[in-house]
A and B are shown apart, each in its own frame.
Chain A
Amino acid sequence: MVAELGHFALILALVMAVVQGTIPLIGAQTRSAAWIAVARPAANAQFAFVAIAFAALTYSFVVSDFSVLTVAKNSHTLKPLMYKITGVWGNHEGSLLLWILILTLFGAAVAWFGTNLPPGLRARVLAVQALIGVGFLSFILLTSNPFERILEAPFEGNGLNPLLQDPGLAFHPPFLYLGYVGFSMAFSFAVAALIEGRVDPAWARWVRPWTLAAWTFLTVGIVLGSWWAYYELGWGGFWFWDPVENASFMPWLAGTALLHSAIVVERRDTLKSWTILLAILTFSLSLLGTFIVRSGILTSVHAFATDPERGYFILGFLVLVIGGSLILYAVRAPALKSGGVFAPISREGALVLNNLLLATATATVLLGTLYPLLLDLFTGKKVSVGAPFFEATFFPIMAPLLAAAVFGPMLPWKRGDLMGAFQRLRVAFFLSGGIALAVWAFVSGGTWLSTLGIALGAWLVAGSFASLAERIKLLRAPLADSLRRAIHLPRSAWGMTLAHAGLGLFLLGGTIMLTWQTESIQVMRPGEVITVAGYELTFQGVGDVPGPNYMAERALFSVSRDGEAFTNLLPEKRAYVSSGMPTTEAGIKATWAGDLYAVIGDADGTGGWATRFFFKPFVHWMWIGASVMVLGGVISLTDRRHRVGAPARRRKSATGAAPAPQMAGE
């Protein structure tokens, strides 16, 4: 009954989406206020219906209603309640429903908060958003109905993929989707602007916070996935350049570019055509990611039931949305008037360089992701493009980007002076260079690549704070004055500083971890001792530990350092009752210098066990760096000018806070 209710609500949501996708669009075209007014209630109703459907599916999971096929295939009565709930999106149908829920949530958010948008633009944005909804709602209703019943309900469900029964991964998809789908806002705004034939700074002021929010969510989603891979998969890696990982990384790269180019539109009223194109491409890459994951066109470690029929549907939808919007762009973009001019060495110039490099990086990842498919198509050879390709192509593009990221904010708009900027950054330059050289000279095992990585990471951290210090006149004005300036600095300036510095910390952690990690693999018998990075690990034995829906073999390693007991590591190997699938749980002890990481493998049958240890120096810097980036995004989102009704107040506060005119804003 509840499942039927959910199904019915989904059908109503589709009807509502069709209404919202057509009537306001016609209304905006014919300037009919009554037709335009349909957009907001329709967006609310569409969101409400999808929310009912989502609640119905969640209910079916919580009560283990195995007469619903999705529940029977993906749930189990023994599963803890949290994983019954997160299991809702641990499968194709449910995750698609979550996708749509977030899509309609963003649409409703425009209806709620978009009160200061011109009604015509708001109606068009909501209509475009609804048309995307029409596509996804038809997709779910026609090919992937989450409420499908089975005639003979099984007594017990099939269980959720054990790898997904983990807090890190349970919340990875919602954040990822908030990011992916969040970019639909930028897309809807871009298409609406193309229909109107007008892009102005007010448009960019609207697009930026949505893009920033989507970018922040996507960053959280990717990092959660990566962190999960690190502690769960048991081989200590965190990024594998897997097609599905790339599918989330490409919109992130393009979204990062969009974030930066929207600044230029907002502040300088130029680069409009390119920004519109980026907004379209960023969401297109999100859709492409969905296609890659769900059509099964590329083999991947990610578990989704793949079905070619669904592939055709998504591809058709992709052609309609991406092809349609790009053709609209081709026809309308030349009419967009370009604004202010600028010299190559200027804030705008630096942001253009940022965009060029990020776009190239995105194209590289896209090429590497699709290449195996193309090769298979033309030669029938199955290959996988792995880390070596991406490392050889991606990092050379990123290095100049990271070096320039510090210069950009130091340059004024319109025309800048590179030497002058360098003068003001020389402390940061010599500091980061000095650190890199000192590490190269005094720590063995480094390479020129690790030296470069450390130099760039330190440069990003030091340079970002140097530019902040410059803006608050630290040490050049009385401390109280500097403090006052720091408080009155726009939040977006703080956000940028943190985001860039966080990237630097991430780079430092990653470089040090990859260069100086130690690894040890061996067969051990109880009582044996192994020394890793100065820690003595004594294998005490393996015992059986029952879990709620699995049986675990848990090993005990007592760790001592310099003869003193330090900690115990308890890695596990779990076999889940429902599927028999084994998973590993690494035993990790975080220290200030890095992580000590232990994994237990199979017994060799004669009393020995395969064991694997890592010492991963500075690995937590990566997670801290990523968190600082996210924090930067959040702080920037709270900037006064992103808030409702901000433009009027912004001018007043700008004179009050009196930041140096050249340095205002970003």
Chain B
Amino acid sequence: MTMRPMTYMPPVMFAVVAVALALGLLFVNPKEIPSALIGQPAPTFDLPSVDGTPHGLSSADLMGQVSIVNVFASWCVPCRIEHPLWVEVGASGEVPVYGLNYKDSQENASQWLADFGDPYTAIGADLNGRVGVDFGVYGVPETFVIDAEGLIQLKFIGPIDRFALENEILPKVRELQALMVADGAE
């Protein structure tokens, strides 16, 4: 029958779509939501400290070196999941990790840090969430990588896992640190 090859068209076409989807899973990173803030200066702010930590956080702290800003809160369960990884990064000293304590109460936040560890170089208490809003935070946790000029270079939404930390966040930090050294040498 001459019709026979026609019925093979659907599986062949589906094979093409399936290959495209597989490649998409391999190479397209869905979490890399293009943010209007990438390449933009981090917002200007000056926040008080969380009770029991030595100093607060201001935008001036983010200048002069590559840094990570992690938005967290004691009420946020996924923050607990990612927190051990930040404790690890904080202990390594590779890059300063700043905390933005988003819409939290002072006592809950300090209790939370006492329970789970404080990896942060400094923490700003964003009690009413205004600075978080300036950062474009729409879910907690969120993580920003900020370069030496204070420009936001990467935004990560949701809790980080080891894969994201080692394949996305730390490589970005190292790339920016290398760039800073190169700029300094000029």
A residues with a Cβ closer than 8 A to B are 72-73, 154, 156-158, 273, 277, 280-281, 284, 291, 295-299, 305-306, 308, 311-312, 315, 318-319, 322-323, 326-327, 329-331, 333-334, 370, 373-374, 376-377, 382, 578-581
Contacts and interface: CB of A to CB of B under 8 A. Distances in A.
Interface stretch (B21-29, B60-68, B84-92): B21-29
B73 to A, nearest CB: 8
Given A158-B78, A305-B158, A315-B22, A330 B33 contact: no
B77 A296 contact: no
Interface stretch (B7-15, B42-50, B146-154, B173-181): B7-15
Given A156-B75, A157-B77, A334-B1, A329 B7 contact: yes
B80 interface: yes
Given A578-B75, A579-B140, A323 B25 contact: no
A318 B129 CA distance: 43
A579 B139 contact: yes
B10 A326 contact: yes
B103 interface: yes
A296 B7 CA distance: 32
A129 to B, nearest CB: 21
Contacts of A370: 17, 20
B28 A158 contact: no
A281 B139 contact: no
Contacts of A291: 21
Given A329-B11, A333-B7, A334-B7, 20 more contacts: A72-B77, A158-B76, A158-B77, A280-B10, A291-B21, A295-B30, A297-B24, A297-B25, A312-B25, A315-B22, A323-B14, A326-B11, A329-B7, A329-B10, A330-B11, A373-B21, A579-B76, A579-B140, A580-B103, A580-B140
Contacts of B78: 73, 158
Contacts of A374: 20
Contacts of B15: 323
A280 B11 CA distance: 11
Contacts of B73: 580
B11 A296 contact: no
B31 A373 contact: no
Nearest to A273: B7
Contacts of A73: 77-78
Interface residues of B, number: 37
A376 B28 contact: yes
B166 to A, nearest CB: 15
Contacts of A315: 18, 21-22, 25
Contacts of B22: 315
Contact of A306 (B14, B23, B24, B30): B30
B20 A373 contact: yes
Contacts of B4: 334
Contacts of A579: 76, 139-140
Interface string B134-167: 0000111000000000000000001000000000
What are the nearest 3 A-B pairs in CB distance? A296-B30, A326-B11, A580-B103
Contacts of B18: 315, 318-319, 322-323
Contacts of A156: 75
Interface of B: 1, 3-4, 7-8, 10-11, 14-15, 17-18, 20-25, 27-28, 30-31, 33-34, 73, 75-78, 80, 102-103, 129, 132, 138-140, 158
A373 B24 CA distance: 7
A405 B50 CA distance: 67
A306 B27 CA distance: 15
Given A157-B77, A291-B21, A315-B22, A330 B10 contact: yes
B94 to A, nearest CB: 26
A392 B50 CA distance: 54
Contacts of B132: 580
A403 B22 CA distance: 40
A195 to B, nearest CB: 16
Contacts of B80: 154
Contacts of B28: 297, 373, 376-377
B11 A327 contact: yes
Given A297-B25, A319-B18, A329-B7, A581 B139 contact: yes
B55 to A, nearest CB: 24
Given A306-B30, A376-B28, A580-B140, A277 B129 contact: no
Nearest to A373: B24
A581 B18 CA distance: 37
Contacts of B11: 323, 326-327, 329-330
A382 B158 CA distance: 21
Contacts of A580: 73, 102-103, 129, 132, 140
- Name the residue in A298, A322, A326, A333 with the highest tally of chain B Cβ atoms < 10 Å from its Cβ: A326
Nearest to A158: B77
A373 B4 CA distance: 32
Contacts of A311: 25
A277 B10 contact: yes
B23 A377 contact: yes
B139 A377 contact: no
B104 to A, nearest CB: 9
Contacts of B103: 580
B75 A581 contact: no
Nearest to A291: B21
Contacts of A333: 7
A297 B78 CA distance: 22
B141 to A, nearest CB: 11
Nearest to B158: A305
Contact of A299 (B21, B33, B158): B33
A334 B140 contact: no
Contact of B27 (A157, A158, A330, A377): A377
Nearest to A324: B11
A281 B31 contact: no
B129 to A, nearest CB: 6
25 contacts: A73-B78, A280-B10, A281-B10, A284-B14, A295-B25, A296-B30, A299-B33, A305-B158, A306-B30, A312-B25, A315-B22, A315-B25, A326-B10, A327-B11, A329-B10, A329-B11, A330-B7, A330-B10, A331-B7, A334-B3, A334-B4, A370-B20, A373-B21, A377-B20, A377-B28
- Name the residue in A299, A579, A580 with the highest tally of chain B Cβ atoms < 10 Å from its Cβ: A580
Given A72-B77, A326-B11, A377 B158 contact: no
A600 B76 CA distance: 28
Contacts of B77: 72-73, 154, 157-158
Nearest to B138: A581
- Name the residue in B11, B15, B73 with the highest tally of chain A Cβ atoms < 10 Å from its Cβ: B11
A265 to B, nearest CB: 17
A581 B139 CA distance: 7
A288 to B, nearest CB: 8
B17 A326 contact: no
A297 B20 contact: no
A277 B158 CA distance: 41
A154 B115 CA distance: 12
